[in-house]
Structure 1
């Protein structure tokens, strides 16, 4: 498949324009306006408002089945420290996860498909808001994404540092972990720091509980199970000479298997209920179920594999890679519709900065292979008659 040089140059310009004007989740007003304007200029039907700032383009080419391609549009609350010519102009906000690249790839794919039309059926071009922690995918689903735009499958793509530009990785199962959060409030009895025997110290209980929670993965789960329990915040006390009444712990849980996820939630509840009691302290747990496991459907993963091989060559596709313990709200779409999620390499001669890093900048060399993969995927799912 040949993508015109002019299209890639235009896509790079769109990407850098979006990078320079990043917007946080559910605030992607300028970005969604630009996406809608470009889709309209390609002759593509545009629908707006799903998930607040979401945009769906509809490209029909005769009778046939339908599929969806999804890109996320939101940025992160990070101050950009790199010095690229298209550096963020918004203080404390940057595209540190490459969603500007995902958006540009899907826009370029839309224009290419609208021009070539080597498929029969309908392509839904889904531009999603608020992937970062806010669940924009679920919001689009709640607003009727799959009812208004019925599709046989949906596919998502994410750039991946550590994988060379022009390579793709996909699994027939889990790609990314689930993400849950928790808050634990430990309540004891405050006292003077010089008289700890007259109180019940929630900080000591918190220290023991933090250590105890780490034994869930090391001693209560099989070594073959995948889970991470991380306490990321500890808050207690106001004065240096006072043992406080309460201590609050917050953190995250990530798992690659749903039964493991359910077991970890139960075990955290047991630890919070039982361990603090020996210190005269009570524990209360608030457990927030968040993003599910991003788990590909095997049939669609195989289709994505074959499309990527056709577009890039067999040696450029990794099938059966190690999943990541990071999380992705495309998981909600995969629960609602068959589909697959793949990684697109972005490492050049020098390795890419990590995702969510203040020096990260999407590698524009990944745009052309991204367009090639999306195009091959459409043409294989919706073969021309």
Structure 2
């Protein structure tokens, strides 16, 4: 019998929890019903210490082991959904128009609840486990992870290490993937307003057309990656918003454009901010226009620490064997605000297989319930790896 079979007794119940959360998705920090559901379940497991209201709707619940003194480690799941109209066609599809769990946070929350029930029953570890249920992973700064860290829960509970898990469509059920070091990119956002001189579309020579200038800026920004950045470095600059006149026959006074910057190298954030401004200003000036520019640092690089990486690998391999754990997964240009917790404490984020599902943030996506016992087993193994009674707590 493989080790994962030990956790299948929870699968039916946790699947019901997951599908309940899926039916009633909530956004951002306003995950009030989801948080109430989580807190109720945690209390029913006999967990006595449950703090709610962290970063508005976040929760930290502490399970103390019965193996003696030891450190406290944190296990984190996110609870919020996305503003997407669901098209999965599943019987448990969203009952809330325009909202759905398109990133699997319902599965993340349910798996951590399943692990909580198991750990609260067994308590075969020393020290403590802090179960972290976070709102607003999908929002930009200030996100839920940022606010929870800023509110000091890591210090308040003396959490020494933190671990996260995210589902991965395309990775087989029962497989895990991670890497040491940079796993996910940072995310910054920028806004550029091109200020020209509007007029009638039939007389463009009497205007300073900000639409044409904005088009040149968009093209110019692409050369910052292709011609100004080391090809071996990872940098993505994407313009994702463009707004001008709403009339066919009007050249507007101004055009607003906005976009995102992703990189795996912290120093490229400074480069991108400086070069985007200089590029936009130079092009606008050449056409007789001006710009207004703003740049916001959002999520940092998600960086797996060596000590956390080793724990995660050991925990996953104990569950599914070494052949099912990819230790050298490719880094992704996606971002994850668990990065704030990994900036504050050592630890690691691991990807768990979601099978051949639709992609994340897709209207047809759904979390795969067959992954549930693997997620529960991984969490339990992390706890027993770090907090086993025969392990040096400082190792």
Q: TM-score, normalised by structure 1?
A: 0.97
1:88-237 matches, cutoff 5 A: 88-134=94-140, 135-237=143-245
1:283-302 matches, cutoff 5 A: 283-302=291-310
Q: Which of the numbers 266, 280, 304 marks the counterpart of 1:258?
A: 266
State the SS of the aligned residue for 2:354: strand
Q: CA RMSD of the aligned region, Å?
A: 1.2
Q: Which of the numbers 27, 30, 37 marks the counterpart of 2:30?
A: 27
1:320 aligned onto 2:328: yes
5+ residue gaps, structure 1: none
CA–CA distance in 1 between the matches of 2:334 and 2:137?
A: 13
Deviation of 1:49 after TM superposition, in Å, equals 0.8
1:330 aligned onto 2:350: no
Deviation of 1:20 after TM superposition, in Å, equals 0.9
State the SS of the aligned residue for 1:213: helix
The aligned counterpart of 2:81 is 75
Deviations 1:360-383 (A, max 9, x none): 110011111111111111101001
* Contact 1:272/1:284 (<8 A) preserved: no
Q: Which of the numbers 37, 40, 50 marks the counterpart of 1:37?
A: 40
* Contact 1:73/1:129 (<8 A) preserved: yes
Moved more, 138-147 or 151-160: 138-147
Deviation of 1:25 after TM superposition, in Å, equals 1.1
Deviation of 1:195 after TM superposition, in Å, equals 2.2
1:28-67 matches, cutoff 5 A: 28-44=31-47, 45-61=49-65, 62-67=68-73
Q: Which of the numbers 312, 321, 342 marks the counterpart of 1:304?
A: 312
The aligned counterpart of 2:17 is 14
Deviation of 1:4 after TM superposition, in Å, equals 4.4
Deviation of 1:197 after TM superposition, in Å, equals 2.1
Deviation of 1:239 after TM superposition, in Å, equals 2.8
5+ residue gaps, structure 2: 391-395
Deviation of 1:196 after TM superposition, in Å, equals 2.0
* Contact 2:79/2:134 (<8 A) preserved: yes
Count of paired positions: 382
State the SS of the aligned residue for 1:137: helix
CA–CA distance in 2 between the matches of 1:82 and 1:307?
A: 32
Q: TM-score, normalised by structure 2?
A: 0.94
Deviations 1:320-375 (A, max 9, x none): 1111111111111111111111100010xxx1110111111100111111111111
The aligned counterpart of 2:393 is none
